[in-house]
Amino acid sequence: MKKAAPDPRAVRKASLDEVDRLGLATPPAGFPLVWEPGDAVELRHTTEIEARAAVLHVVVARCFGMPTEAAMHWLLGSHLVEQVTPPEWEFVIGAKGDHRSFVLHHDAVFALAWLLGLAQHLDPTAPPEDRLMQQMPDLPSGEGFDRWRSRSLMSPRDPVEAAVLLDLYYCLDWAFQDAEQNGRPLPGDINGNAIGQRRWALEWAVVFTGPYHDQPPDWEEVDLSV
């Protein structure tokens, strides 16, 4: 459901207050806003978020020993092959690419699970919930995409709530990188890579409409450079 986005400056002030509370440096003056006054916000369609989460879940499973044939069979049986990006497909079928970067997608899955209401928090100081794997498709048992969706009680987050958290993670991404580059301590049990993965998922799933926004990017097109 599309809603009016909240005041971006008020949200940014709250984000900076939280970054400061965590003991991190705040982004410099003029750090870009994620959206502008008057913009609207919504989440991608629930089935699209579910599909992205499931595909990434399979990619992470491949990192931890899921056989190629089993992964391909699951994606084919779940009719999700078209949702797999080219880099993900090369990794699934031939283990090509940066294995470490694909392992990190576990935190992107966590953020998508939060958006679907399957995770209770997205605390930037804490790792993914222990029960996350139980909330995702049971790949060893062969649970397919449709069966997973039917047993899961998806309750997508309010897009305004998601936008507020996106702004926080946008600021945290800068703050964590700054801390790591300057050898300063981090506030919890996760690092900048985890923060970046969560931001990636939020940037992809939260869609703004307004005069300064392009069409929503594909997964591999999300720009995390700023």
Other beta carbons within 10 angstroms of residue 5's beta carbon come to 24
pLDDT of residue 150: 95
AA letter at 210: G
pLDDT of residue 187: 97
pTM, rounded to two decimals: 0.96
pLDDT of residue 104: 96
pLDDT of residue 153: 87
pLDDT of residue 13: 98
pLDDT by residue for the chain (226 residues), tens only, comes to: 899 999 999 999 999 999 999 999 999 999 999 999 999 999 999 999 999 999 999 999 999 999 999 999 999 999 999 999 999 999 999 888 888 999 999 999 999 999 999 999 999 999 999 899 899 999 999 999 999 999 998 999 999 999 999 999 999 999 999 999 999 999 999 999 999 999 999 999 999 999 999 999 999 999 998 8
Place of tokens 């965590």: 22
pLDDT of residue 63: 95
pLDDT of residue 226: 82
Strand partners, 40: 4, 209
In angstroms, what CA-CA distances link 117 with 112, 121, 146? 9, 9, 17
Q: Mapping DSSP to helix (H, G, I), strand (E, B) and coil, where does residue 19 land? A: helix
In angstroms, what CA-CA distances link 176 with 116, 152, 196, 206? 26, 33, 9, 22
pLDDT of residue 188: 94
Structural domain boundaries in the chain? 3-44+157-209, 47-151
